Amino acid sequence: MKICIDAGHGGDDPGALGTTPFRFEEKVFTLALATRLEEELESRGHWVVMTRRQDRTLSLAARAAFANRMGADLLLSLHANGAPEPEVEGIEVFHFPGSAAGQRLGGQVLGALVASFPDHLNRGLRSATFAVLRDTTMPALLVECEFLTNPKQLRFLSNAENWDRLAQAIAAGLEPERLGG
């Protein structure tokens, strides 16, 4: 499968910001996770293209257009969430409303993440009209790996070992046996 990985945010857009007990930006997390996910997916026989490989600003329209131009079979947009309340936590996956393939793949990826991190809250599979989901011609998923604004989850998301574990879980959700093939 040809998979386009989108490391959310970047450049002038830091995304969510964790500040307690230390400062950590979503754009740093997403690029690190994207790099590891690329390696993991390629080791499993997938062809991967990346919307960005460095800290640069990239519009939402450009991200979707790139995935379309590359003829990807799936877009995975990687994110970390934020909330005004520090106790909010959990993993969630979004797909475009009415996309049966997006819903199926999103459920599989969420299931693999929850199985790999059973102590994390499952916030569920949700539909949304985010630009990267709406403007692509292929199924697309937006994966919110946790909340940077939660001090415990900030530590989790800033740990390089967890980047590898998250990449393995996301990739496991796309394995052929999970896809019915």
Task: Please tell me the predicted confidence (pLDDT) of residue 178.
Answer: 52
How far apart are alpha carbons 167 and 163 in whole angstroms? 6
- Residue 180: pLDDT over 50: no
**How many Cα neighbours within 13 Å face the side chain of 41?**
25
pLDDT digits (tens, 9 = 90+) for 61-100: 999 999 999 999 999 999 999 999 999 999 999 999 999 9
Let me know if residue 166 belongs to a domain. yes
Residues counted in the chain: 181
With cut-offs at 50, 70 and 90, classify the pLDDT of residue 113: very high
Let me know if residue 181 belongs to a domain. no
Query: With pLDDT > 90 as the criterion, what percentage of the chain qualifies?
Result: 96
Task: Please tell me the predicted confidence (pLDDT) of residue 181.
Answer: 42
Let me know if residue 93 belongs to a domain. yes
With cut-offs at 50, 70 and 90, classify the pLDDT of residue 176: low
Mean pLDDT for the chain overall: 96
Could you give the number of structural domains in the chain? 1
Cβ(142)–Cβ(94) under 8 Å? yes
Can you give the CATH number for the domain in which 94 is found? 3.40.630.40
DSSP letter string over 10-45? BTTB--SEE-SSS-EEHHHHHHHHHHHHHHHHHHTT
- Residue 179: pLDDT over 70: no
How far apart are alpha carbons 147 and 131 in whole angstroms? 21
Residue among 25, 40, 92, 144 flagged as catalytic:
144
Q: Model-level pTM greater than 0.85?
A: yes
Mean pLDDT confidence for 111-133? 98
Cβ(143)–Cβ(6) under 8 Å? no
Cross-strand pairs, 81: 147
| SS3 category, 120 | coil
Task: Please tell me the predicted confidence (pLDDT) of residue 175.
Answer: 87
Let me know if residue 129 belongs to a domain. no
Give the range of the structural domain holding residue 20, as residue numbers without chain letter: 2-122+136-173
**26 a catalytic residue:** no
